[in-house]
Amino acid sequence: MPADSMIDILISENIAGAPVDALRSKFKVAFEPDLWKNRKALTEAISGARAIIVRNNTDVDAALLRAATNLIAVGRAGVGLDNIDMKAATELGIVVAFTPDQNSISAAELALAFMMALARNIPAASADTCAGNWNRNRFMGGTELYGKTLGIIGAGKIGFLTASRARAFGMNILAYDPFLSEDHVFLRQLCADQVELDELLSRSDFVSCHVPASPATDGMLDAARLRRMKKTAFLVNTSRGRLIVEEDLIEALKTGVIAGAALDVRRTEPPQPGELEKLPNVILTPHIGAFTVEAQERVTRTVCADIERLLAGQPALNPATPFRLPQRKA
């Protein structure tokens, strides 16, 4: 797209549906679902845009924001903001709108699905049976969720929804979240014991991660922390891949430090296939936690509505930057 091409909204990833069609009826929209892969073309295209809508692949860093001299709004179709330079956006007066709750249920359900799949070794049993076998005895020895302890790392909205569903299976809940007081309504409703991270790891049968990527969480689950877990414990990560030191996890899975793991996210996405993909006690999915029909309908509808509001000079309903009306001018 030529640099002088003036557009209202640039969509640099695969975000589509009726809400996007509605935006097209009111604004000039450029839909370029693979644009995030081409930095030069992205920089040229955004220079003439008033708003951009992204998922988690587009690197909306300070340099890109400064090149976007007409930009007043960034719409993040999702909850994570680690691909957006929030400091630069705030300094430039660019409003970032996101969807903090709209995909929470889908992410929580995937975490529960992972726990059940790990507990009963469902992927291996399915593959073996589809190969024409009927090896009931081979797959004896799975474990129930009932009576087990679930450790929730990050008891925000998704962590809360995951834990509340786990309680329906009769699980006991431990929570680690330094940003929540022991009287927080989430912890009270879960009847959860709030503990330090090392205690959570040592007491839990299942550990499920629900924290954002940040300097504080980068590599928080390393070899030393993994060794604190039970040898029979399972690790689930549906939040951000940078939480786990993958080399340490591979070693822990290979040597029996923990029983298994399920990961929807990786440190680099997409990852280069390696040792992790070859292990029998790991389940891997391609960052699909939010990718249900219902969640994507909610996410798309919410982010498109906020972008429309911002372009009309109204405040966003879901701002991630300090609340303000757009100030930037072409």
Dihedrals φ, ψ of 113, to 5°?
A: -60, -40
Please pick, among 91, 144, 182, 269, the residue that the annotation labels catalytic: 269
308 flagged as catalytic? no
Pick from 323, 322, 320: which is nearest to 80 by CA? 320
Q: 285: how many CB neighbours lie within 10 A of its CB?
A: 15
Q: How many CA atoms lie within 13 A of 201 on its CB side?
A: 17
Number of H helices, E strands in the chain: 12, 12
Tokens encoding 79: 């909850």
Dist. CA 117–CA 121, nearest whole Å = 6
Point out which residues pair with 151 in neighbouring strands.
Answer: 174, 207
Strands 49-54 and 29-31, by their bridges, are unpaired
266 flagged as catalytic? no
User: Which DSSP string corresponds to 32-98?
Assistant: -TTGGG-HHHHHHHHTTEEEEEE-SSS-B-HHHHHH-TT--EEEESSS--TTB-HHHHHHTT-EEE-
Please pick, among 184, 240, 242, 309, the residue that the annotation labels catalytic: 240
Question: What is the residue whose two structure tokens read 């996101």?
Answer: 98
Does residue 276 contact residue 268 with C-beta atoms inside 8 Å?
A: no
Burial level of 125, CB count in 10 A (0-12/13-18/19+)? Answer: middle
287 flagged as catalytic? yes
Please pick, among 76, 210, 228, 287, the residue that the annotation labels catalytic: 287
Does residue 34 contact residue 58 with C-beta atoms inside 8 Å?
A: no
Q: Which residues are marked as active site?
A: 240, 269, 287
